[in-house]
Amino acid sequence: MRPTMNSPLISIRNLKVQFRGEAGQLTTALKGINLDIHPGKVLALVGESGSGKSVTSMAIMRLLPPDQTLIAEDSQILFEDQDLLKASRPILQQLRGSDIAMIFQEPMSSLNPVFTVGEQIMEAVMLHAKLGRRAARARALELLQEVGIPEPELKLRCYPHELSGGQQQRVMIAMAIGCEPRLLIADEPTTALDVTVQKQILQLLAELQRKHNMAVLFITHDLGLVGEFADEVAVMRHGEIRERGSVQQIFEHPADPYTKALLQCRPSLTSRPQRLAVVEDFLGDHPYVEPPQVSRGYQADDTILLEAQGLSKTFYLREGLFGKRACHAVSNVSFKLAKGRTLGIVGESGSGKTTVGLMLMRLHQATAGKVLLGGEDILALSPKVFHAYKRRIQIIFQNPYASLNPRFNVAQILVEPMQLHGIGRNDNERMQLAGDLLVRVGLPRAALGRYPHEFSGGQRQRIAIARCLTMKPEILICDESVSALDVSVQAQVLNLLQELQEEYGLSYLFISHDLSVVKHISDQVMVMQKGVLVEQADSDVIYARPEHPYTRQLLSAIPQGWTALRQPVEAGLGQAIPA
């Protein structure tokens, strides 16, 4: 019997999940959650990493590893009175794709790199819709058109690596909706995307949900997205549902302290507190007191520490057997970084942001231009002379696990650069300094003996910051250094960066596609598009009165959360998402 609009499409009852480790120890991921997903509605499941969001979705799809997973006997996941936890393999194969479909966070790891886009979409519809090859190809073309991919006939013949990240995600959506499922599970579908592409994907999902009247389980850690997309919200922490209600209720009258914390952690476009709120501020015995506001911007008497003049970078790509094609990644970019200030660089992927940072570090050799540090053009220095300048300018990368040597413990990670640059009189002094720096970034000295894989993402980023501080630098380049973190952990790292700036007088070049974060931490902002600097001004000025159309486009795509522009939740998702 199909559910009515009032009865749930999916009912999760007392879902308890444990994972068995290599040594036989059990880790509890879900502690008896209860959740209903209604036909034609969007339920957002919100929480930090490790809260149990993805485990819940994988349990619905029965994709948890059976040899490592223990699910309680009285747990149920009911789909039209069919308990998915007890369903046979043939029934599950019938339901997956046709009635329940899923979009994963990282499309490139979900798409098969050796098959074309068309072959992969066709495989899905041939399997579940029982279409012949010619009909399946026509359906694949229709789906690519429906999800808004340009030149769909051409893209059918493309391989995943030939598409942009946004186009790859659209292909994943096309595969998911190919058989018009009644439930679509979207697990962090926009996390790795630029703000403009993120908005396009959300609008696409909203249109498809309305057109096909699908139920959607939308999993995210960003409440800003939830306010623009969801009908209902369930907030998870440590494997439990802490609060559930309509999106309006959650945003305007949150009851649980943890929900209030998540709402406050995210940087705002309308305020700039001296310190961002963190989860612990709301879970203690004392009420949260909002800190004073601060102003940012360059001052006339600021000391200019670094100046880039006409910075350019051209890559040459092989074309044909003997030919090559020039790709202008950065073209004639000039800027100044003042002592103790933060210069934010924003733009979409491919705009040249990271290339600028890497040229300052000489990890990419500039094609043209100068970079003056203390009056010396560091691009013209010999490698031997530049070695001394590495102490003055350091970089924090986006993925700390990839930039930390997994074979080194924390002590070795922190001591090695000090040894290379002759910092400290002996290893004992260096170990003391390493311990002091760990404490300064909020980690215990006992962490010196542990390895990177033993830490969370936020803790690994703190270790990367401590490693940079061993050099006692004047400039830190932060390359998307908080974009992969939960909003609460992101707030902790941003607070730490501000404290270090005040304590040591550091200057930051802060590279990000998250414009809310950039506004919070930056004194001045430069906007890049396709390798060109299109606008530069103090952060308050550029956000209040953007001049370039591209800047206005970026700002209009920032998730605003719940706003008065959205119609009441009872009207459903058919309302337009605000521009």
For 127-162, how does the pLDDT look when each residue is reduced to its tens digit (9 = 90+)? Answer: 888 889 999 999 999 999 888 888 889 889 999 988
Q: Are strands 215-220 and 183-187 parallel, antiparallel or unpaired?
A: parallel
- At 56, the pLDDT band (50, 70, 90 cuts) reads very high
pLDDT for the residue numbered 5:
52
Q: Does residue 486 contact residue 221 with C-beta atoms inside 8 Å?
A: yes
Say which DSSP state 107 is in: H
Domains within the chain, CATH numbers bracketed: 1-99+182-255 (3.40.50.300), 111-180 (no CATH), 341-364+379-556 (3.40.50.300)
> What average pLDDT score do residues 487-498 get?
88
pLDDT for the residue numbered 573:
34
Say which DSSP state 380 is in: S
Angle between helices 165-177 and 117-129 (to 10 degrees): 10
pLDDT for the residue numbered 3:
53
Three-class DSSP category at 187: strand
- What is the spatial distance between Cα 577 and Cα 207, in angstroms, rounded to a whole number? 10
- What is the spatial distance between Cα 398 and Cα 485, in angstroms, rounded to a whole number? 10
Mean pLDDT of the chain: 87
pLDDT for the residue numbered 467:
92
> What percent of the chain is modeled with pLDDT above 70?
96
Q: List Cβ neighbours of 186 (8 Å cut-off, separation of 6 or more).
A: 102, 103, 205, 216, 217, 218, 219
- Using alpha carbons, select from 288, 284, 196, 263 the residue that is nearest to residue 46: 263
pLDDT for the residue numbered 579:
29
H or E segment to which residue 527 belongs = strand 524-529
Q: Does residue 218 contact residue 573 with C-beta atoms inside 8 Å?
A: no
pLDDT for the residue numbered 135:
93
pLDDT for the residue numbered 566:
52
What pLDDT digit, counting tens, does each position of 364-400 carry? 999 999 999 988 999 999 998 998 888 899 999 877 7
pLDDT for the residue numbered 565:
43
pLDDT reading at 245 higher than 90: yes
- At 569, the pLDDT band (50, 70, 90 cuts) reads very low
> What average pLDDT score do residues 170-179 get?
87
What pLDDT digit, counting tens, does each position of 182-240 carry? 999 998 888 767 788 888 888 888 888 988 889 999 998 888 788 888 999 999 999 99
Q: Does residue 267 contact residue 282 with C-beta atoms inside 8 Å?
A: no
pLDDT for the residue numbered 494:
92
pLDDT for the residue numbered 564:
42
pLDDT for the residue numbered 398:
78
Q: Does residue 507 contact residue 498 with C-beta atoms inside 8 Å?
A: no
Stated pTM of the model: 0.84
What pLDDT digit, counting tens, does each position of 2-16 carry? 555 578 999 999 999
**In a 10 Å sphere around its CB, with 0-12 CB exposed, 13-18 middle and 19+ buried, how is residue 23 labelled?**
exposed
